[in-house]
Structure 1
Amino acid sequence: MNTGILAIALASIHLFSGKLRSLKKILHSRYISFGSGVSVAYVFIHILPELSQAQVTFQSSVNILNFLEHHIYLVALLGLTVFYGLERFARTARQRPQKIANTDVTYLDFFWIHIGAFAIYNLLIGYLLVHREESGIQSLFSFSLAMALHFMVNDHALREHHQKIYDKMGRWLLAIAIIIGWFIGISTKIHQAVVAVLFAFLAGGIVLNVLKEELPEVRKSCFWSFAFGTLSYAIILLSL
């Protein structure tokens, strides 16, 4: 039941995080940077070490694709690459001149591709609420808190890209995807080797989605908030 409550809480972030935009810009950038720092800490302190165990699980369970079975980190790299490509396409779609007659149609096509990819991303997170590499209540809450703050970062970026259509449809689809992922998690159990692959892909996606919000100068991010989020959550994770 804890996972169901947390799934609803995570879904609610997409529905209500837009309310935080009323904060002053400087405070808004600080909480985005803090959330980014927490997400990065979770990846490097928690997920990456778990990928080492995932490598063992995958290698002992899969007898095909010999090259891939020794390189679970390639899946993480694939996750990073996929979301980098989506980010590039998103920027291109937003900057496309409005002179072409079918520009709006083209943009809507991309909106569905972009939101569809993040819906799969959220579905995966909803599933991992139930089935993670490491079980236990501490793992559950550390994962949930990191993903909650990560969703705030993603929500901020997606709202910037898609604006009104995101508030009208996108955020609802992403919220529903989390619930669907959780429902799949409580209804079925995927082979542990597949969970390892999904976890690796998620790690790559998180790294890219966080750093793309922090690195460009135009984001006006706050280094000290990012550093505080990273350090404080790293300490919490190491103390568990």
Structure 2
Amino acid sequence: MVSIVGVVLVASGLAAVHIGARRLRFLQGVPRSGWLSLCGGVSVAYVFVHLLPEITDHQSRVVEAVEPTNIVLEATHERSLFIAALVGFTLFYGLEQIARRSRREPDRRATDGTTIHSGASVFWIHIGSFTAYNALIGYLLLHQEETGLSSLLLYGTAMGLHFVVNDYGLREHHREVYDRVGRWLLAGAILVGTLIGLLVGLPEILISLLLAFLSGGIILNVIKEELPRDRESRFWAFVAGIMGYTGILLLV
């Protein structure tokens, strides 16, 4: 069993990623830094090699434990966790589309002459969603299928590199306001989520749904940064991240 001190240290390290990531100047610019692509590859490898098999195990237990009582449950309970992953993927795709459109809208003038920034409301929707996302990641530090130091470090490493990718994308969308406000909210959310995890235990089926939702969100948040043509992403760095972390996951 992992000590509380170990969990707190990992959570603090994850929070520090958001606070200090802007200092990683070498990640900026086009073509996209190979390090960002490598970080994305690690995150995707963790989802496909570790989280999805874990979700499959959870799903088999859900099917055994839950008796469908209506037509909706009957239609979904054998695939409920994969539907949750799809919901996570779709939600963050929608947020990305909203953020991209807001960047193309010009600022407007209010009747009193003040400037209404077109992206202000979108910033709070975007950051609010990622705050909940980070809190979930913090909560799951304490509620994984496999316990132990190695599992904690594998999860913490994958999520830390994932946060580097997220931080870069959010800063690109929201610029100065992200550095002033957003990164602090996201860092604090990890610690708050970890604290909730220490104090509150949720039913296994709900943890399973949250884990599946997180998996879908991670896949989308990595892929959306890698695919756009203007990113000029580094395919081989992405593959290196996938292959390298897959090897580690299979050996540990």
TM range (shorter): over 0.9
Question: TM-score when scaled to structure 1?
Answer: 0.94
Selected match of 2:162 from 150, 165, 170: 150
In structure 2, stretches of 5+ residues that fail to align are none
Question: TM-score when scaled to structure 2?
Answer: 0.90
Selected match of 2:121 from 102, 106, 109: 109
Measured against aligned partners, the alpha-carbon deviations of 1:195-229 in whole angstroms (never above 9, x if no partner) come to 10000000000000000111111112111111111
- Please state if 1:69 is matched with 2:74: no
Task: Check whether the contact 1:119–1:177 (CA below 8 A) recurs between aligned residues.
Answer: yes
- Please state if 1:96 is matched with 2:105: yes
Measured against aligned partners, the alpha-carbon deviations of 1:19-65 in whole angstroms (never above 9, x if no partner) come to 00255747961110010000010011001111101202332344452
Selected match of 1:219 from 231, 234, 246: 231
Task: Check whether the contact 1:41–1:234 (CA below 8 A) recurs between aligned residues.
Answer: yes
In structure 1, stretches of 5+ residues that fail to align are none
Q: Cα offset for 1:105?
A: 4.7
CA distance in 2, matches of 1:106, 1:217: 25
- Please state if 1:49 is matched with 2:63: no
Q: Cα offset for 1:188?
A: 1.2
- Please state if 1:165 is matched with 2:177: yes
Task: Check whether the contact 1:14–1:172 (CA below 8 A) recurs between aligned residues.
Answer: yes
Task: Check whether the contact 2:37–2:235 (CA below 8 A) recurs between aligned residues.
Answer: yes
Task: Check whether the contact 1:131–1:185 (CA below 8 A) recurs between aligned residues.
Answer: yes
Q: SS at 2:141's partner residue?
A: helix
Q: Could you tell which deviates more after superposition, 169-178 or 100-109?
A: 100-109
Q: Cα offset for 1:99?
A: 4.7
Residue identity opposite 2:178 in structure 1: Y
What is the identity percentage for the equivalent residue pairs of Structure 1 and Structure 2? Answer: 46
Residue identity opposite 2:38 in structure 1: F
After superposition, the Cα gap between the structure-2 partners of 1:149 and 1:29, relative to the gap in structure 1 and judged at 3 Å, is same
Selected match of 2:21 from 1, 12, 17: 17
Between Structure 1 and Structure 2, whose CA radius of gyration is higher?
2
CA distance in 2, matches of 1:148, 1:200: 19
Residue identity opposite 1:165 in structure 2: V
CA distance in 1, matches of 2:136, 2:219: 16
- Please state if 1:127 is matched with 2:139: yes
CA distance in 1, matches of 2:168, 2:39: 11
CA distance in 2, matches of 1:45, 1:114: 28
Task: Check whether the contact 1:62–1:193 (CA below 8 A) recurs between aligned residues.
Answer: no
